[in-house]
Copies of this chain bind each other. A is one copy, B any other.
Amino acid sequence: MFLAKVRGNVVSTQKNNYLHGHKLMIVRKVDLSGNFVGNTDEIAIDQVDAGIGDTVIVVKEGDAVQQVLGHRKAPVNTIIIAVVDDIDIPVK
A contact residues, total (Cβ < 8 Å): 62
* Interface residue ranges of A16-65 to B (CB < 8 Å): 16, 19, 24, 26, 29, 31-32, 37, 39-44, 47-50, 52-53, 57, 59-65
Contact A31–B39 (Cβ < 8 Å): yes
Tell me, rounded to whole Å, the shortest Cβ–Cβ distance linking A24 to chain B: 7
Q: From A3, A15, A42, A74, name the one whose CB has the most chain B CB atoms within 10 angstroms.
A: A15
A interface with B by C-beta (< 8 Å): 1-3, 7-16, 19, 24, 26, 29, 31-32, 37, 39-44, 47-50, 52-53, 57, 59-68, 72-79, 81-90, 92
Supplied contacts A3-B43, A16-B48, 19 more A-B pairs, CB within 8 Å: A1-B76, A1-B77, A2-B40, A10-B82, A11-B88, A12-B57, A12-B82, A14-B49, A24-B57, A29-B40, A31-B41, A43-B57, A52-B90, A59-B75, A59-B77, A60-B77, A61-B75, A75-B79, A75-B81
